[in-house]
Amino acid sequence: GATIGILGGGQLGRMLSVAASRLGLKTHIFEPEANAPAGDVAHKVTTADYEDAVALRAFGQSVDVITYEFENIPTSALDLLESLAPIHPGRAALATSQDRLTEKTFLRDLGLQTAPFADVTDMDSLNAAIAEIGTPAILKTRRMGYDGKGQARIMAPDDAAQAPADMQGAPAILEGFVDFSHEVSVIGARGADGAVACYDPGENVHEAGILRTTTVPARMTAAQRTDAVLIAARILNALDYVGVMGVELFVTPGGLIVNEFAPRVHNSGHWTQNGCTICQFEQHIRAVAGWPLGDGSRHSDVVMENLIGEDMDRLPDLAKTDAAIHLYGKAEAKPGRKMGHVNRVVKA
């Protein structure tokens, strides 16, 4: 069988490895941290950082295809790796999603609705952006933000003075605050043959910037559901994408507004492990390995709950319920750290 190279050995890399293994494929993980979650289940692990060209080259030469569990892979590493094995999803998806300004501009150019946004490089451009967009607004670093990190809320123009300190001077964008009723996401997949399959949208609840629960079905009309899938398909096709993608949407009376997309399997797609015949992890492996996409239709209602930090104290009680338990094998339950998740299958 072929060997899938995975950049990143966190829980997503771990669950991708398990799925690959079920398909008779081997995985080789590249991960700077020792004892990362995927290490337990991968066939091979290289512990090295992204500046280590020798290790990167050996990794790239040992695999048939390269995929990843996070989008902030250094460009220099991608340049080296792309000469050794195909990278799926491709460079366009990575470059677009690594930078919120590029991402939002791409989405707007596709004709999709986004929050109003403006480029912020200094105090003058911040004040100009506030004058244009108004408040409340959110200042976000263009790069590297996740779980709501690297963001500052600007409730009134006076808050602008404090904001650059919060952002430590990093290039940023200002986004107008979207008055949404709830948040949903679509997990979409596109095969090497261009076939597109999307999972049912899930409804997401965040707490302190971190995903808390995903519930399927989401509260949406049939028309909104169709819209959500069409939005995801448009993004997938525009990027000539191969693999699974998570697309985050705000539900508003004026339609669906695209917040961001992640060019990888997504936390809000974990429900598919127990709600579908083919979960997002298998779907992603199928796509990057050049297999046909599988049947992603939903057979059950599911509530996925993340186990974060001290939520792990509830494990003995959770183990007595019918919830499907997925743990990542992380040693220490630090605050804010995703330790695992449970899927409650509500209706068979």
Residues that bind ligand ATP (CB under 6 A): 115, 138, 145-149, 175, 177-178, 183, 206, 209, 248, 259-260
Nearer to Mg ion, 260 or 301 (CB): 260
The Cα–Cα gap between 24 and 318 comes to: 31
- Given ligand ATP, Mg ion, none, residue 115, with its beta carbon under 5 to 8 Å by kind, binds ligand ATP
Q: One-letter amino acid identity for 221? A: T
Q: Give min distance, CB of 178 to ligand ATP, in A.
A: 4
Q: Give min distance, CB of 195 to Mg ion, in A.
A: 26
Q: Give min distance, CB of 208 to ligand ATP, in A.
A: 10
Strand pairing class (202-207; 210-216): antiparallel
Nearer to Mg ion, 31 or 71 (CB): 71
Q: Report how far apart the first and last C-alpha atoms of the chain are (Å, whole number).
A: 35
Q: Give min distance, CB of 65 to ligand ATP, in A.
A: 25
The Cα–Cα gap between 182 and 228 comes to: 14
Nearer to ligand ATP, 63 or 133 (CB): 133
- Given ligand ATP, Mg ion, none, residue 8, with its beta carbon under 5 to 8 Å by kind, binds none
Q: Give min distance, CB of 209 to ligand ATP, in A.
A: 6
Q: Give min distance, CB of 183 to ligand ATP, in A.
A: 6
Q: To 5 degrees, how large is the angle CA 208–CA 174–CA 249? A: 55
- Given Mg ion, ligand ATP, none, residue 305, with its beta carbon under 5 to 8 Å by kind, binds none
Nearer to Mg ion, 227 or 248 (CB): 248
The Cα–Cα gap between 314 and 307 comes to: 9
Q: One-letter amino acid identity for 134? A: G
- Given Mg ion, ligand ATP, none, residue 177, with its beta carbon under 5 to 8 Å by kind, binds ligand ATP
The Cα–Cα gap between 224 and 252 comes to: 10
- Judge contact between 341 and 326, C-beta under 8 A: yes
Strand partners, 179: none
- Given ligand ATP, Mg ion, none, residue 114, with its beta carbon under 5 to 8 Å by kind, binds none
- Judge contact between 85 and 63, C-beta under 8 A: yes
Residue window 223-262: x/- pattern of binding to Mg ion, with contact defined by CB under 5 A:
-------------------------x-----------x--
- Given Mg ion, ligand ATP, none, residue 200, with its beta carbon under 5 to 8 Å by kind, binds none
In whole angstroms, what separates CA 187 from the centre of its chain?
A: 9
Nearer to Mg ion, 82 or 260 (CB): 260
DSSP per-residue string spanning 124-180: HHHHHHHHHH-SSEEEEESSS--TTTTEEEESSGGGGGTHHHHHTT--EEEEEPP--
Contact residues for Mg ion, defined by CB under 5 A: 248, 260
